[in-house]
Amino acid sequence: MKALRCAALAALFAVAALGMLYLAPAQARPKQNERISVFAPRLPRQAQLVLHGSCNAGLMRALILDYQRLHPGVEVRYSHLDTQELYDRALRAGNAGERADLLLSASTDLQTKLVNDGYARAHRSPQGQALPAAARWRDEIFAYGYEPVAMVYHSGRLDPAQAPRDRDGLLRLLRRADRPLLGRIAVQDPRDSAVAYFIATQDAKLLGPGAAPLLAEFGAQRAQPYKRMDALLDRLGDGELSLAYGVFGSYALQRIERGAPLRLVLPRDHLLLVARTALIPRDAPHADEARRFLDHLLSPRGQTILAREAYLIPASTDIAPPQAYRGVLGAVANPRRVPLGLGLLVYLDATRRRNFLRDWSAALGPGG
């Protein structure tokens, strides 16, 4: 009987422990738009690193696993968040369940604002100092790679011989009498996505007077706006769309590698290169581990992995770009790496933002 009571108590204790495991850290549960990947340590856990990033975990997987080869006792938790949520969490720093050790985001304007408003820690190291001056600011924010903002098309829906190579070619295609892209072209929606807003404002700044005619043609062709890049590429890969404008090269190449019938075009007239940036929050729970990972990210070893596995153009000019880009980068007339600094805060002004989005919505028309 005593043995039975002990067994029953043990069972109850196990159930209670499981309940504590799943119920106690309620604030740490994934939110609706959060996807958490846990990379278990190779040895008994000695340290933990919490990363909040805007790119999907697949693009960071190789780098994280390589870091764990060097530091096998570190558990890495990677939360995939959209860039607005990533920024908002940094402002809610008092909530322990939402604290990150390192923020990795493609909304370079929001990252810069966090630095400017005092939410980041300084980190000075040989790896950071080796970056070009335009790729670091105040020793608090660092570009670890650059995304080419590209056009992507479905090779079965659009003849590769007719696919545009630059924006003039895209305009000619949009203005053709047979309207081959009517209702079948997609753009990211800057009204619902912080990173789409950043891309759209930087693209408009780069194109100058040429931005308005292109946007007007998108409206005339009933371009479909998407909040999420993955959803846009799903529709494009399924053949429901023919062409997408303003897509990150890494996301498209990830699909192409898996067999999607897509082709990537780096516009030869002007190529916008958006920085993916890293910063250590001022309240990072494991700041020393964050510094160590950031140095790995910026090291020649880390930069080489990011170029090969994440399809990022390295921030270090000593490392070759991804193989998939090498044949076309040389044909691009004006590749422009967006420099870090206060200039990125211009379009975060409330009046400028409201006016930009008003004009964007008006150009796309009722369907947009």
pLDDT score, position 34:
73
Mean pLDDT along residues 3-26: 34
Q: Where are the beta strands (DSSP E) in the chain?
A: 35-39, 47-53, 74-80, 102-105, 120-121, 136-137, 141-154, 185-188, 224-226, 243-248, 262-265, 271-281, 313-314, 335-337
Whether the predicted pLDDT of 229 surpasses 70:
yes
pLDDT score, position 334:
77
Query: Each residue of 251-268: pLDDT tens digit?
Result: 999 999 999 999 999 999
Q: Which of 94-98, 186-190, 265-269, 356-360 has the lowest mean pLDDT?
A: 94-98
DSSP state of 320: P
Q: Is-contact 319 304, C-beta < 8 A?
A: yes
**What does the angle CA 227 – CA 232 – CA 238 come to, to the nearest 5 degrees?**
155
Predicted TM-score (pTM) of the model is 0.87
